[in-house]
Amino acid sequence: MSAIEIRGLRKTFGTLEVLSGIDLDVESGEVVCVIGPSGSGKSTLLRCVNLLEEPSGGTVTVDGVELTDPDVDIDAARRRIGMVFQSFNLFPHLTVLGNVTVAQRKVLKRDKAEAERVARANLERVGLADKVDSYPEKLSGGQQQRVAIARALAMDPRVMLFDEPTSALDPELVGDVLGVMRGLADEGMTMVVVTHEMSFAREVADRVVFMDGGVVVEQGAPDRVIANPEHERTRTFLARVLDPAAARVGEVDG
Amino acid sequence: MLGGEYGIFVAAVVLVVALADWHSLHVNFFNWSVAKGLFPDIITVGLRNTVIYTVTGFALGLVGGLLLALMRLSSVLPYRWFAMAYIEVFRGLPALLIFIFVGTGIPLAFPGTELPGGVYGQAAAALGLVSAAYMAETIRAGLEAVPPGQAEAARSLGMSRFRAMRTIVVPQAFRVVIPPLTNELVLLFKDSSLALFIGVSLTQRELTKFGRDLASQQGNTTPILVAGLCYLLITIPLGYLARRLEARQKRGRR
Ligand SMILES: Nc1ncnc2c1ncn2[C@@H]1O[C@H](COP(=O)(O)OP(=O)(O)OP(=O)(O)O)[C@@H](O)[C@H]1O
Ligand SMILES: [Mg+2]
């Protein structure tokens, strides 16, 4: 059984079809990087996997639970799916410790001591054990994103979803976050990562999925997809991402 | 130009000073012996009841306003309709009419029924009914000011809709609405004077009725002025506090 099974997933906003039939399996322990141009539906795909967006058609099954089943306990299912957002979305009115314990306390009903123990262990894991009492606004973007990762990990998720986790960061802070994610991958976490960081995809991903226009255009081992793409659309996209300066020339030509 | 205006002002002052009957003014408005006779009752009865009516009315209005705001933003259509209708109706009616309705209309319509707390309950209910409508709009604006990513992050951690609202969104919204709610408290403090239309007993008199009763008893205006001073003692510092909070919030948001 795969950790994530997506079958015929469709999503429309009004008349705009954003996902036009996605089939995707993610095995337990696998790291899948999703790449593709802006507007291709990557975020929507991730958001459908934990039902932040309600799919218009198809099925999504995570850890054996079909989320698209109308009778499913969606709150229970979401506990097992960690999500990391581009904009961090830390809770500004809570300290770092509060951010990482609040859902443990209120959702998992862990007692205070247990929740704090788990929180500290996970903050340690992302290298921020000394920041427990800070408020998010006092942290750099990279630190905030690592707290967000710790917050998700504290719920003992079976899979982790990352939506462009480093896109809002200053370049010199990207490395810390990617380092944490690499560590998670090494520990065997099942991960789906939407990213433009091609070096991360190449080194950490087991598989790269290229999306465009609401469909999976091609997928495969990172070396194959990134270094030697089969499809013209993939080649065009990669040329732009890998060499933005050249891409601008190409766009003028096109 | 400005000199001309200034001249008119000086002339008016001179005229008033020359024509005023200072002795009669002193006796009727600033009569020390009458003023001294008001204490301590004007504080222990008048101000005390004003504070009780205001605080209980504010508490009811706050709960009602929060409920209405949540209903207003609910995805359930009848909730939205109810909240919108309530807000329109109660903002469109004079507060005095509500007090007369609660004080006279309800006992007439349902003979034998009595609100818990008697007059105190009636005053709280009337103030609560009115202020709930205003607070609902304030709180709704506060709820809408919380970025949607906050609720999404909470939901993705497995919190239910209600839990996410209560633990993540509402506390953040309240920070935004504390200054306007402080202003609302000032308004309520003044509106509590309408309780005199409910038919209160001697010990239930608030400042305005207390001042009026003593003024007519003693044929002297001083009690009304002292009652007014008691209001200002509370409303001016509260209003100042509201502006301070507002200014601090503006600075914080930069
Ligand atoms: N809530 C929404 N309502 C309407 N349209 C939406 C909504 N969310 C996304 N879209 C549209 O769906 C399309 C795909 O959006 P999506 O965010 O999934 O793309 P993406 O691949 O993540 O892009 P990016 O790289 O810019 O993040 C876009 O055209 C977007 O405007
Ligand atoms: Mg996106």
- Nearest-Cα distance to chain A for B148, in Å, is 9
CA dist B53 and A64 (Å) reads 57
- Predicted pLDDT at A170: 94
A10 CA distance to ligand 1 centroid (A)? 13
> Tell me: the pLDDT tens digits for A140-180?
999 999 999 999 999 999 999 999 999 999 999 999 999 99
Is the ipTM of this structure higher than 0.85? Answer: yes
Of B41, B61, B172, the C-alpha closest to B124 is: B61
How large is the C-alpha radius of gyration of chain B? 23
Q: Count of CB atoms within 10 A of residue B10's CB?
A: 10
Residues of chain B found within 8 Å of residue A75, distances taken between Cβ atoms: 155, 158-160
% pLDDT > 70, chain A = 96
Which chain B residues touch A if contact means CB-CB below 8 Å? 147, 149-150, 152-160, 163, 167-168, 171-172, 175
Higher per-residue confidence, A168 vs A1: A168
Which residues are within 8 A (CB) of A219 and not within 5 positions of it... i.e. 6 or more apart?
A24, A207, A208, A209, A210, A225
> Tell me: the pLDDT tens digits for B54-97?
999 999 999 999 999 999 999 999 999 999 999 999 999 999 99
pTM over 0.80: yes
Residues of chain B found within 8 Å of residue A78, distances taken between Cβ atoms: 155-158
Residue of A42, A46, A85, A240 to test ligand 1 pocket, by largest number of atoms within 8 Å of CB = A42
Per-residue pLDDT at B185 exceeds 60: yes
- Predicted pLDDT at B110: 81
The answer to whether A176 and A127 are in contact (CB under 8 A) is yes
Considering chain B, what is the average pLDDT of its residues?
A: 91
Higher per-residue confidence, B17 vs A84: A84
Per-residue pLDDT at B222 exceeds 50: yes
Arithmetic mean of pLDDT, B122-132: 94
- Predicted pLDDT at B12: 87
Enter the DSSP assignment of A170.
Answer: -
Arithmetic mean of pLDDT, B175-182: 92
Of B91, B122, B86, the C-alpha closest to B200 is: B122
Arithmetic mean of pLDDT, A177-185: 96
CA dist B35 and B41 (Å) reads 11
Arithmetic mean of pLDDT, B213-225: 91
* Closest protein CA for atom 8 of ligand 1: A44
The band of A253, judged by pLDDT with boundaries at 50, 70 and 90, is: very low
% pLDDT > 90, chain B = 65
- Predicted pLDDT at A248: 56
Of B221, B219, B232, the C-alpha closest to B30 is: B221
- Predicted pLDDT at B253: 57
Q: Count of CB atoms within 10 A of residue A5's CB?
A: 17
The answer to whether A91 and A102 are in contact (CB under 8 A) is yes
Break chain A into its structural domains and give their ranges.
2-80+158-241, 91-156
CATH no. for A2-80+158-241: 3.40.50.300
CA dist A237 and A210 (Å) reads 9
Higher per-residue confidence, B9 vs A85: A85
Arithmetic mean of pLDDT, B166-184: 94
